[in-house]
């Protein structure tokens, strides 16, 4: 008897397992992946169906969350905290070199570095812009736009002169910085910024160049001193690069000119933008407390003038990526480097240096 009961129990267990396997097979049949369908039309239909299902589920979740928040507010309770999405910026690796506002050593170093005389307004920035030996077709137009962006900038032809000779010439003429525009295959691909007289020298890779004529509805810049905006230069290296960029521009912006130059650092890419503020007056019709349009004695609707501010891009537009930072002026053989970018540094997508 006992043996028969065991046999019946085992048969029941096998039946349960068979039903579970059948359910799994049914689910697998119902959830057909588009990649497993060979016919193109059927595959696109399956893909559209899956996309629609995901959209419906997402909408249901949003409705349930909104309903829970509304219920909590009605009951006088605190709603559930909003979920913060994971991004590369908020999950970046902790960096010891991030500058703190109470770092006395950093501020003491600022008073003694190469840019202190310009940033304290003891010297006026005077920039020499030149090219590499083999210039390109887009190089001159890019340089002419750089001359309109940076005040007190002068262009000199490179010719066959060595860069060390140009540094000597610029020191004698009391220039504060040199910008060398390097070109490759008729396209500007690098910038070399040399601080004078004692350096440092920063080498940047240049990409995504868009000239003023290629920007839709672009504005024309004036000769006023621009306002400079530097974003996210938070580490020691970023702070140094930020001060190098800052030393290219005068420290007394003319706000009446409504010009603003932005260097925005994001994931070690420095995005350059050049804008001007535009103030426009727009008429907005007044309405009373009941939502009806207010009218004067003659029955005409009263219009109220409203000033709206917007940004108009002047160009150029480009992206910089730091390749190396060198002590002193340009020296390829005996130069000592503060920082050099190496391929093994790019192992983690959440590690940034600027």
Task: Work out the average pLDDT over 184-193.
Answer: 90
Please tell me the total number of residues recorded for the chain in this structure: 354
The pLDDT, as a whole number, for residue 15 is: 52
The domain in which residue 163 lies consists of 107-345
The pLDDT, as a whole number, for residue 1 is: 43
Residue 37 lies in a domain: no
């090219």: which residue's tokens?
A: 131
> Distance (Å, rounded) from C-alpha 34 to C-alpha 13?
35
Token representation of residue 57: 């589920």
The pLDDT, as a whole number, for residue 2 is: 47
Query: What is the count of structural domains for the chain?
Result: 1
> Distance (Å, rounded) from C-alpha 144 to C-alpha 177?
17
Residue 336 lies in a domain: yes
Lowest mean pLDDT among 72-81, 108-117, 189-198, 344-353: 344-353
The pLDDT, as a whole number, for residue 231 is: 93
Residue 160 lies in a domain: yes
Instruction: Name the more confident of 5 and 165.
Output: 165
What CATH number has the domain bearing residue 339?
3.40.50.10480
Residue 115 lies in a domain: yes
Residue 81 lies in a domain: no
Residue 70 lies in a domain: no
Neighbours of 144 (CB within 10 A): 14
Is the pLDDT at 17 greater than 70? The verdict is no
Is the pLDDT at 198 greater than 50? The verdict is yes
Residue 66 lies in a domain: no
Lowest mean pLDDT among 88-92, 194-198, 204-208, 285-289: 285-289
Task: Work out the average pLDDT over 85-110.
Answer: 80
**Residue 170 banded pLDDT, cuts 50, 70, 90:** very high
Whether the CB-CB separation of 32 and 45 falls below 8 Å is answered with no
Task: Work out the average pLDDT over 221-250.
Answer: 92
Residue 35 lies in a domain: no
Is the pLDDT at 269 greater than 50? The verdict is yes
């Amino acid at each position: 008897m006992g043996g028969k009961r065991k046999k019946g129990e085992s048969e029941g267990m096998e039946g349960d397992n068979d039903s579970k396997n059948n359910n799994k097979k049914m689910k697998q049949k119902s959830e057909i992946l588009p990649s497993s369908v060979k016919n193109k039309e059927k595959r696109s239909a399956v893909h559209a169906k899956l996309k629609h299902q995901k959209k419906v589920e997402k909408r249901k979740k949003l409705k349930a969350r909104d309903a829970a928040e509304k219920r909590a507010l009605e009951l006088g309770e605190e709603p559930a905290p909003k979920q913060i999405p994971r991004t590369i910026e908020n999950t970046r690796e902790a960096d010891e070199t991030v500058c703190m506002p109470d770092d006395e050593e950093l501020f003491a170093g600022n008073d003694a570095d190469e840019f202190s005389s310009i940033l304290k307004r003891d010297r006026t920035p005077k920039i020499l812009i030149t090219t590499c030996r083999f210039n390109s077709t887009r190089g001159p137009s890019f340089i002419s736009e750089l001359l309109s962006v940076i005040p007190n900038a002068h262009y000199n032809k490179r010719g066959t002169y060595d860069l060390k000779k140009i540094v000597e010439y610029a020191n004698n003429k009391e220039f504060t910085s040199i910008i060398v525009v390097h070109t490759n295959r008729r396209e500007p691909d690098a910038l070399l910024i040399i601080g004078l007289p004692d350096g440092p020298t920063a080498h940047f890779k240049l990409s995504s160049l868009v000239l003023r004529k290629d920007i839709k509805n672009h504005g024309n810049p004036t000769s006023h001193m621009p306002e400079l905006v530097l974003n996210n230069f938070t580490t020691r290296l970023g702070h140094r690069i930020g001060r190098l960029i800052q030393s290219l521009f005068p420290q007394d912006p003319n706000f009446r000119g409504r010009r603003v130059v932005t260097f925005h650092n994001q994931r070690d890419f420095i995005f350059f933008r050049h804008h001007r503020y535009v103030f426009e007056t727009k008429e907005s019709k007044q309405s009373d407390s009941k939502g009806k349009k207010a009218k004067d004695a003659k029955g005409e609707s009263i219009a109220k003038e409203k000033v709206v501010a917007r940004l108009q891009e002047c160009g150029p537009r480009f992206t910089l990526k730091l390749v190396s930072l060198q002590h002193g002026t340009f020296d390829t053989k005996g130069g000592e480097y503060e920082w050099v970018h190496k391929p093994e540094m790019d192992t983690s997508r959440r590690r940034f240096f600027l």
